[in-house]
Amino acid sequence: MSTHPAWIAWASRYPALRARLASWVPGLAAAASVLSLLFAFQQVVASGVANSQARWRVSAERADAMSRCNAGPNAVHRAGCRAQLEAAAPATLP
């Protein structure tokens, strides 16, 4: 009785098939590595796009609020509106 698992005993009976399967392993490992690197690159690009969109949205909202402040009826109202806008503004954009 063999002490090897069944697949090892089966593979030892077919050395040509065993050699062919062994030659595929480096190619499969390389393909898996390339696919994982492509997936990681896609994640980084998607994150950058999301951050860019968020930054653009914050900038557009701030510009819209500033134009509303500048359209105020008098200088006191405009100055107060700008002061509130500066107080509510985040320290840094996302």
Which residue, chain included where needed, has tokens 């077919």? Answer: 14
Task: Quote the percentage of the chain above a pLDDT of 90.
Answer: 30
pLDDT 10s digits, 26-83: 899 999 999 999 999 999 999 999 999 999 998 898 888 888 888 888 888 888 888 8
User: Please, what is the angle between helix 15-70 and helix 75-88, to 10°?
Assistant: 160
User: Please, what is the angle between helix 15-70 and helix 6-13, to 10°?
Assistant: 120
pLDDT over 90 (residue 19): no
pLDDT 10s digits, 20-37: 777 888 899 999 999 999
